[in-house]
Structure 1
């Protein structure tokens, strides 16, 4: 007997289902809302170092990229994030070293590069800190461009443009 319609078993070659919670980060919507609310409060009341760096970043060349202050990435609120470059700038203060190391590792696992600046150094010379961030941005742009160039080409159907033409001798 011939079967005309069958359901396939899910194979190993199929993509995993997208996680619905927390925009793919496995965070509950309630927790994500609380993180966004906390980030909003932090943007309204910035630290002196954060305010100084934000003002200095407007004066340096950033290649057309911009930073979002106090942005939520996963379950972390980062000081400055440039999502197109996947670059995070953190101003170090009085945080626990193991906590910052864990957060840096979790951001690196998803492709973000984390640069840490001392809050005291930013307050002492905001222009130098902004120039350092600009240099890191250029370096990150080159890293991502090189990675994109070495990525294997996707499987595409061959072009029909040259069909019917003889090759030139």
Structure 2
């Protein structure tokens, strides 16, 4: 008998799974993780029109090390764009996934400290420059938020022996 993926009722899925040591911390079988990475690789090779439009607009921005990468695997999710130093992902809804799955995936990402921003594909295609501006503004806000959470360094602390 072939196994099929089924969803449990929403009331049975209150909490997102905790990180574990298996499958790079997400309790995912290595074979499934390999399949997810292969799918992400294929999506990078053949992006949707909305993803290509947003990628072109984001490429015009000077974001340095915070530049979002396309089709990044985080757990069992494939983020349309992700800036891992900022712990921020942008998901473009193509209308092919169930809302219950997307909600659960967002909850899992949020529980590990990753902020999720969602746009519809039609919204991105209608105004890719506007979506890129909103994304960059969210990235700057996230940078400020993470910087404020960092403990302050002492001003006159020595980090080793002085050089001669």
Class of the TM-score when normalised by the shorter of the 2 chains: 0.7 to 0.9
Alignment correspondent of 2:24: 23
**Cα distance in 1 between the residues matched to 2:52 and 2:99:** 23
TM-score by length of 2: 0.76
**Cα distance in 2 between the residues matched to 1:143 and 1:60:** 21
State the superposition RMSD in angstroms: 1.9
Q: Give the 4+ runs in structure 1 shifted more than 4 A.
A: none
Decide whether the 8 Å contact of 1:61 with 1:134 is kept in 2.
no
Work out which of the two has the higher radius of gyration on C-alpha atoms and give 1 or 2: 1
Deviation per CA, 1:94-141, whole angstroms, max 9, x where unpaired?
132111111100000111000011211111111111111000000000
TM-score by length of 1: 0.74
1:23 aligned counterpart, secondary structure? coil
Deviation of 1:61 (Å): 3.9
**Cα distance in 2 between the residues matched to 1:93 and 1:43:** 15
Matches within 5 A, 1:74-85: 74-85=75-86
Q: Where in structure 1 are there 5+ consecutive unaligned residues? A: 1-17, 154-158, 162-169
Alignment correspondent of 1:97: 99
Alignment correspondent of 1:126: 128
Q: Where in structure 2 are there 5+ consecutive unaligned residues? A: 1-19
Q: How many residues align?
A: 135
Decide whether the 8 Å contact of 1:62 with 1:137 is kept in 2.
no
